[in-house]
Each structure stands twice: as structure tokens, then as C-alpha cells.
Amino acid sequence: MKRAFGRPKVRAGLFVREDLKVADWQSSSIEQIQEEIGFIYVLVESGKRTRKETRKLCNCLYYMWNIKSVRRRKVLLNSELAKRAKIRRLDYTINGRGWAELDKRSVDRILIDKPEYIYHCAGILMEISTEMNDINILSNHHGDPRKYRGRPAGFYEMLDGSKVVGQIIQVLSNDLDAGKVLAFGESAVMPWSYRQTLNYAYKLSPFLLKKAVKNLRKGKYLSMIPCVGARRLPTNVQVLLLALKCTKSLAFRIYYGTFIEKRWRIAFVRANYACWSAQQLLEQIREVNAKVIEVVADKRYSMFADCFLMGTQIVAEGLSRISGLGELVIIDKDNGSAKKLDIKEYRLRRHLSYPYTLVCRDEVFIYPECGEYPSQLLLRRRANQKEFEAIKIMRGIGSGLIDPSVVKSDDKYYILGNLASEQNILRLWYASNIEFTDYKEHPDSPIVVGIHGGRNGGRILREGAKLYRLSQDLENGYGVGIHLFEIIKIDEETYEEKQVGAISMNGDLQGPHTVDYNGEAICWDYYRNEFSLLAGYRRLASRLLGVISPHLIQ
């Protein structure tokens, strides 16, 4: 049956246990597709098991760790969903290899319902009968199937020293964690804490489900060849080894936080590389270190970072020694002096950084990072004026953006950035004008879920008809390098990109973190780790003040 207007209502299904409880992260995932769910399939075990589940003594330390670090809080299904959807009982038995097999009546029930897809939240391995081959059963797997199939989530990544935990949404098959992949994301490993590593990974899962459903409807699958063999529960020796690694990482983290500071600086060099590729342009950051004009820090500010070119000037974040907040400053490239950006009749009492600049018809526009504000700000300086005026834009998105980058393509303006509440979830909006008065979120948004490309790192570069997006390298730490993505297609319906390069600095210099180029000059920021007895005090003070600048607290 069709609704009076619009497309036919989607009839999706949901697999759950008898108690109608799901993990907390699964509940957040279900919220993304709640309006589409027409059937709740309650899985009930019947008959005797042909294979008994046993817990071996060699895995006892893992089971103990599981209680504190791995086990997730269970929540009841949304009551409105339970009232609205049709609830079906499905009976299953456990077969010889420990997988659940639905009986014929249950299979026939699903075939009659004909759900477009079923989201599996029951937490058991499902044997897919031949009759159900055309039913798309979607399931999460927390692990990159090219390296880590099986269980437990995140454990072997940490044991192997991996810097990321991959995760997928797959169409279930009878080969463990080797189904067709619809969506992929990566989260950072916190080497000092298994629990924090898992918490971070599970936060990304709801965003992947929404992307997976979109790809399912497009018939778009990711090319990921699964590795041979699946991981099993870790032995007691492996648990002890991981516990030792976590302890060493925690000790180093405490030492670093107490005594090591990132000394941020901005670098600038005049150069015209108009005939060079975007990757060759970035390579110059390595090559011209000795020729760089280093900007000297003003005494009113403890550091400078997030630099962008504005005509013949540099505009950047300066961290105030008095307030502890980021302020937007204009830097003189010749003598290294800095002054606060003039903003007309507007009190900016919260943190500002990443002042992304655009020049249009003799007017200057700045889209700053303003995650502490309720909406995004646009700073505008009209022709022949000295002061900027602050305009609130995109009021309906819930907060200002983190590291927003803006580009015009054809007759549309696009803004890419992170919401303050979403770490490394890169969203995309578009509008017909530079003030984004008629903005809409792009149908492919979020375009990146995870740390690989999930946070912008500077100017969107043009190379002829091509566009390139810079993103921060968050896999190896904060501010240690830049990834280069070519934007294959960007319009109102489609966004596609692929990584084509990366750059990091040589020696003991870490960076770049943000890069800008205007055809005549390049500027970027970087840092050097230095010992300081006051490092811990400054980090603690910044947190107590509520400062969100990662340049200081990370």
C-alpha cells in the first residue's frame, strides 16, 4: 500500500531476543531506521542443543575482563516501536557448529512478510537457509574483515599494536564475518584502555547503519576480501600480554600529560606552484623547512595554530594566556606580530579556531570552528571595511561546526564539517548561496565515518577541474600529518572521494596539521614535543576552564 504522497513505506525487520533487549549502541543504531521497521522478529530457542556451550579454563581471564570492559548495557526496545510494528515469534535450534537455524514455519513467515532488509540485533550466529538467500540480513562486525574476523571486538587489534579498529555492516552469509560489505568505518585504538577503545568503536556504529541502508538500495558494495580463518577467544597468556601493554601505555600517557607539551608554530613560504599537482604541492612542506619564515608567538598568546591565508595576511587561532580560549588573530608574516581580529559589535566569549577563509567579489568570508556555539558563525567583511560582522547561519543543525571547509562547485556551495557532539563523523551540507540560507544536508552525508578522513585539515585545493580535500592524519596521533583525498564527484545527489596521497614532516617536527595555499604562498602549522614542568598544570587548567582546543589538551 502506498502513502498518499511520496515513496511506498519501507517494511524492514528487526531480529531481537525474547526479552526485547538490545545493547545500548544497537538501540542508537535502531533509532536511525526506526521509521522503516515494520516487523519485530523475536527469536526463541526451542528443542535441545546438539552442541553444548562450554567455557574453558584457558579463557577464564578473558571472561573476567569481559565483565568490566566488554559487556555492554542492555536496554529495552523503544516502546513506540514495539507498539507500532508487527511482532512475530521465530523458533530456532542450535546446530552442530553452534549456529541458530530457523524452523520451516519461521522461514515461511519471513518470506510472506517480504521485508526489504532485517537488522540483526539478537547477538547469535545465524545459519542462512537457501530459501532466505534473497533476504538481506544486516549485521555489525567490529573488526576489519581483511585482518580480523571472529571475536572479540578490538582485542587482537590492541594486542597486535594496530592503531585502528575497523568495523563493517555486512549482509550475513554462512561464512563468519565474510558477508558482502555495505559500509566500513575505523575508530582509534586507545592503547591504555580496552574499554575506551570499545566505547569509541561502538559510538560510530549507528552512523554506519544509515550509510549501509543507503548503499543497499543503490546496490553498492565495498570491495573487501576477507582474510582466511577467524579469531577465537584469547587465551589467558594473551590476556596477560594485553594487560601488560595497556599498563605500559597508561604509564607513558601519564608521563606525557604531566611533562610534555606541544609547542605549536605556524610556517609560511612564498611560492608559486601553479603547474604542480596537489601532492607535489604538499611535498614542498618537507623540502622547504630550512627556508621557512617562522611566525614568532605574541606574548598575549601561548600558541598559534589553524592558519589560513587572507590576501597578504595570515589569520589563525591564537590561544589567549588570560582566558585560555582560542581567539582569531591576524598575523604579520614579516615581523611575526599578531592582533585580534576586529569583529563589529559582537561579543565572542567562547572558543574559536580554524578560520577557513573565502574571498568573493572583494568581500572576505570566514567560517570558523565554533563548536561551543549553538549555531555556525559566518564572519563577513564587506569591501572597504576594516571590521568583520558576525552572522549566525545554519541554525537548525544543533551546534557550530568543527573544522568546517567550504567550496563552490558549479552553482552550489558545499560545507564539510563535524558536529560538536560527533567525533570524526564528517557531514556535508549544500546551499545556493555563500551564507547557506537555504542549506540542506547532502543525501550521502555523513560522507566519512571514522578517523580515516573524518576531520578536515585545511583548504580544499583546486587543480584545474579537480578538487582535493585535506584531512588530518588521526591514525598516528593528533596533528602529525595530512591525508589528501581527490573529490571524484560532488553535486546535490552524489559525493565520492578517494585517497591519493599523504604528507608528514621530517625529523622531530610533527605536522602539518592545517595547510593553506592561495597560488602565491603556502602556510601550515606544526609542533615539536618539549619537556615542561608546567605541562600537566596547563592541561588540567584548560580542562577546568572548559577549553576544547585539542592543540593544548591532547
Per-residue model confidence (pLDDT) at position 519? 82
**Sheet order of strands, 260-270 included:** 293-294, 260-270, 521-531, 515-517
The alpha-carbon radius of gyration of the chain (Å, integer) is 26
* pLDDT per residue as tens, the chain (554 positions): 333 333 446 689 999 999 999 999 999 999 999 999 999 999 999 876 655 556 678 889 888 888 777 778 899 998 899 889 999 999 999 988 889 999 999 999 999 999 999 999 999 999 999 999 999 999 999 999 999 999 899 999 999 999 999 999 999 999 999 999 999 999 999 999 999 999 999 999 999 998 999 999 999 999 999 999 899 999 999 999 999 999 999 999 999 999 998 888 888 887 766 666 777 777 777 765 544 555 555 678 888 899 999 888 899 998 887 777 888 999 887 777 788 888 886 666 788 999 999 988 889 999 999 998 889 999 999 988 889 999 999 999 999 999 999 999 999 999 999 999 898 999 999 999 999 999 999 999 999 998 989 999 999 999 888 999 999 998 888 888 999 999 999 999 999 999 999 988 887 888 899 999 988 888 999 998 999 898 888 778 777 765 555 555 56
Q: How far is CA 124 from CA 16, 100, 136, 197, 234, in A?
A: 10, 7, 16, 23, 19
| Residue pair 305/524 in contact by the 8 Å Cβ criterion | no
In angstroms, the CA 472 to CA 510 distance is 12
| Residue pair 416/427 in contact by the 8 Å Cβ criterion | yes
Strands 388-393 and 461-463: unpaired
Which residues touch 307 (CB under 8 Å, ≥6 apart)?
A: 266, 268, 314, 315, 316, 331, 514, 516, 523, 524, 525
Burial class (CB in 10 A: 0-12, 13-18, 19+), 261: buried
Per-residue model confidence (pLDDT) at position 546? 59
Per-residue model confidence (pLDDT) at position 122? 94
- 159: helix, coil or strand? helix
Per-residue model confidence (pLDDT) at position 291? 47
Q: Which amino acid is at 552?
A: L
Query: Which residue bears the cell 519471513?
Result: 110
- 484: helix, coil or strand? strand
Whole-structure pTM value: 0.88
In the chain, where are the structural domains located?
A: 12-234, 254-549
Q: Which three cell numbers stand for residue 517?
A: 595555499
Residues in the chain, overall count: 554
CATH (residue range 12-234): 3.40.50.170
Tell me which fold the domain 254-549 belongs to.
Answer: Tachylectin-2; Chain A (2.115.10)
Q: What is the DSSP letter of 231?
A: B
Nearest to 301 by CA among 272, 323, 278: 323
> What distance, in Å, lies between the first and last C-alpha atoms of the chain?
54
In angstroms, the CA 111 to CA 128 distance is 13
Which residues touch 329 (CB under 8 Å, ≥6 apart)?
A: 298, 301, 304, 315, 316, 317, 318, 338, 339, 340, 341
| Residue pair 307/292 in contact by the 8 Å Cβ criterion | no
